[in-house]
Amino acid sequence: MKNILLLTDFTPKSDNAHQFAFQFFKGQDCTFHLLSIQKVWDFTMDDLMAANPKSSVDVALLKDNRSDLTTQLQTYKSIFKDSTFTFESHVDYDVFTDAVTQAVQNYNIDIIVCGTDGNSGILEAIFSSHTLRIINKVNCPVLVIPEHYNYQELEHIQYLLDYDDTFESCGKQLFDEVITRYSPKVSVHRLTFALEMQPESCDAESEVIQQLYPEVSLHYHVITSDDPIKELNAFVKEEGIQLQILSARRQTFLERFFSHSHLSKIVNSTEVPLLILCDCSDE
């Protein structure tokens, strides 16, 4: 039984991510945990003063969220009443990543699903979007779905290796499941960001990956550009990629800042679903 955390803010972005997840995990025994988070800074003292004095703070702040979430929960239960899916709902009032971390721990979550609209800018590059905060701070795989992406069967996937990543067998359970279920072609892209990498090292790495997955049609590429996003996106369109995968380490604020936000650029520019696995060092 998989426990899957579906983050919701009742927008088309999150609704679309949910629909993708239902297709992606179709036929599997799954419990979907719908989580709505009311951020602590969203309410002012005026909101509390306007609340019914006989109500608790929890009721005063979360009433609307609970109502919307109950409606969404009942809709999903009705649609999937004859499926292998079960549903639960949760509301929290906390710092966003703290609420997600608690949910992951409390409900034994295997993967987090969230939507992204691809917005970016200097504040996001430094402080991160909610999606990036989850990736950097929560020790759990994340499936990121672009707002307008519709589900497609996986025939060709792209595995991304940052300049300081190594491809190791640990932390690859979800990747292995994708390979087993869909038997897709896999294109591995090593991103050097203009740093020198010996051809012998690339050849050795390609051989190791192929040995780990001998049944996979695997193609290995090296992208040497210091800004590879345009090249990655072109490859996605030309080759019909349906899923990008990478492993990510949780990073400190300074590490994210001085690494030029490589992960931020990839997440914010993705036009296809992105599965982010936990780095071996974080397990």
Domain boundaries of the chain, sorted by first residue: 2-109, 156-282
Instruction: Please choose, from the candidates 109, 95, 166, 130, the residue with its C-alpha nearest in 3D space to the C-alpha of residue 267.
Output: 130
Give the orientation angle of helix 229-239 with respect to helix 262-269, to 10 degrees: 40
Start-to-end C-alpha separation, the chain? 20
Judged by phi (left if over 0) then psi (alpha if -120 to 50, else beta), residue 28 lies in: beta
Closest CA to 24 of 245, 260, 232, 227: 245
Question: Among residues 96, 80, 109, 81, which one has the least CA distance to residue 6?
Answer: 109
Tell me the two tokens of residue 76: 């999903």
Task: Please check whether residue 178 is in contact with residue 184, taking contact to mean a CB–CB distance below 8 angstroms.
Answer: yes
**Alpha helices (H) along 80-186:** 96-106, 122-127, 130-137, 173-182
Q: Which tokens belong to 237?
A: 């369109």
* pLDDT tens sequence across 3-28: 999 999 888 989 999 999 999 999 99
Alpha carbon separation from 217 to 62, 94, 156, 187, 209 (Å, rounded): 50, 45, 10, 8, 11
Collapse the DSSP code of 16 into the 3-class scheme (helix H, G, I; strand E, B; otherwise coil) and give the result. helix
**Same fold for the pair 2-109 and 156-282:** yes
Question: In the CATH hierarchy, which fold is given to the domain comprising 2-109?
Answer: Rossmann fold (3.40.50)
Helices (H) and strands (E) in the chain, counts: 11, 10
When the candidates are 3.40.605.10, 3.30.1360.30, 3.30.70.100, 3.40.50.620, the CATH number that belongs to 156-282 is 3.40.50.620
pTM: 0.85
Q: Which amino acid, residue 112?
A: I
CA 214 to chain centre: 27
Whole-angstrom CA distances from 229 to 4, 51, 260, 271 are 29, 48, 13, 11
Number of other CB atoms surrounding residue 48 within 10 Å? 13
Handedness of CA 86, 105, 125, 188 (dihedral sign): negative
Q: What is the mean pLDDT of the chain?
A: 82
Q: Strand, helix or coil at 81?
A: coil
pLDDT in tens, the chain (283 residues): 999 999 998 889 899 999 999 999 999 999 999 999 876 555 544 554 555 554 455 555 566 678 889 999 999 999 999 999 999 999 988 788 889 999 999 999 999 999 887 554 433 433 346 777 787 788 899 999 988 899 999 999 999 988 777 888 888 999 999 999 999 999 999 988 767 777 778 889 899 999 999 999 999 999 888 778 888 889 999 999 999 998 876 554 445 444 545 666 777 778 899 999 987 655 5
DSSP state of 216: S
